[in-house]
Structure 1
Amino acid sequence: MTTTDLPPLPADAAELLRAVGAPPRLVAHLALVHEVAEEIAGFCARQGLVFDREAVRYGAATHDIGKTVHPEELSAPGSLHEPAGYALLLAHGVPEHLARFARSHASWDEPGVTVESLLVSLADKAWKNKRVRELEDLVVERLAAAGGRERWEAFLALDDLLTRIGEGAPRRLAVQAAHPVRTG
């Protein structure tokens, strides 16, 4: 993959991003997070974790869509894009169970968080090799319970995966950086 090539997004998510005029940098970010989410989801499914894989795919591909409304958050921290993205997705007819990732991808530590939300949140960190122990611990607990394994076994397996994913972070960051923040 060159610095301008992007992994594919789900067709419906890609079309929605075009329709809302998502800037190239945002599309690149979403494609790269989606790519990592696919890898994490495949790993988790092989470990026996049961979850809605299509929801994870869609959530990873659209979680930051609110940055089309708040483009300043493409290059600076902020959380205004989260409720804006949720509202934008609902306004475009996206079902709530898929739109919620835009609102919840940064709130993985709230009570009642779903495994799908944990996986989207994990992908949104792992794509750039950011490790968040508390988030990873929540995923480890789900993996251990699903696979009937000891917690330490699930931890080691997830740690190996995230280490491998992290090794690709410089390439992914370069790919994202090759795309302009603004359209045109």
Structure 2
Amino acid sequence: MTSAALRRALTDPGPRPLPDEAVRLLEELDAPPRLAAHLRAVHDVAAELVAWAREHHPSADVDAEAVLFGAATHDIGKARHPSELSGPGAEHEEAGYELLRERGVEERLARFARTHASWDDPGVGLDDLLVSLADKVWKAKRVTALEQRVVDALAAASGQEPWQVFMALDDACDRLAAGADRRLAFQSAYPVT
């Protein structure tokens, strides 16, 4: 049975709705409402980043379905480690990956629960970087090294000069960061438990 607060966090006006499969998983877990609100905020920013990448870098191989599902579930392990909703911790990363795999989510979609915080690892691809970027920019946090990795990946895919990609990405991140107060207020409106 889904709590009323979780139902509101999933359906109230605000950031765009999560994919149906993510909603189903959060309801099955009776996830904390704050977690659902956070996932909606990050998913919303990820959708904007995917649209931006498709418009400005159509030759980049962005798996929109994977990025959007990844953003919608990247912190799902916090359902098992709710103290990490209001404090530091990384136990939710592996727990989230395991939780998704246990429920039949394929590797290409479950991986974001692990990779969203390890964007600086070698071999992390553009899709993972976009989820990591969304997880920072939603609250107006700018991480230069992460943004540079996104720039490098997009420049390599598109053949554009890195400085051109940087300028466009910087503008997009500034625009997205401008909505951080609204997203933070949305998330804060829901209880941690």
TM-score tier, shorter chain, comes to over 0.9
Q: Structure 2: which 5+ runs fail to align?
A: 1-8
Query: What displacement does 1:146 show?
Result: 2.1
Question: In the alignment, what sits opposite 1:112?
Answer: 123
Query: What displacement does 1:176 show?
Result: 0.3
Question: In the alignment, what sits opposite 1:77?
Answer: 88
Q: Structure 1: which 5+ runs fail to align?
A: none
What SS is found at the alignment partner of 1:144?
Answer: helix
- For residues 150 and 104 of structure 2, what CA distance do their matches in structure 1 show? 30
Query: What displacement does 1:113 show?
Result: 0.5
Question: In the alignment, what sits opposite 2:170?
Answer: 159
- For residues 11 and 34 of structure 1, what CA distance do their matches in structure 2 show? 13
Q: Deviations over 1:56-77 (max 9, x none)?
A: 0100000000000000000001
- Give the one of 35, 58, 66 matched to 2:77: 66
Query: What displacement does 1:51 show?
Result: 1.8
- For residues 158 and 169 of structure 1, what CA distance do their matches in structure 2 show? 17
Specify the code of the residue in structure 2 equivalent to 1:19: E
Specify the code of the residue in structure 2 equivalent to 1:51: V
- For residues 45 and 39 of structure 1, what CA distance do their matches in structure 2 show? 10
Residue 24 (structure 2) pairs with residue 10 (structure 1): no
Query: What displacement does 1:5 show?
Result: 2.5
Residue 68 (structure 2) pairs with residue 57 (structure 1): yes
Q: Deviations over 1:14-44 (max 9, x none)?
A: 1111111111100000011000000001111
Moved over 4 A (4+): none
Question: In the alignment, what sits opposite 1:146?
Answer: 157
- For residues 75 and 32 of structure 1, what CA distance do their matches in structure 2 show? 16
Q: What percent of counterpart residues are identical?
A: 57
CA RMSD of aligned residues (A): 1.1
Report the number of matched residues: 180
- For residues 87 and 42 of structure 1, what CA distance do their matches in structure 2 show? 29
What SS is found at the alignment partner of 1:55?
Answer: helix
- For residues 30 and 99 of structure 2, what CA distance do their matches in structure 1 show? 12
If the length of structure 2 is used for normalisation, what is the TM-score? 0.91
Question: In the alignment, what sits opposite 1:42?
Answer: 51
Between 1:43-52 and 1:88-97, the stretch displaced more is 43-52
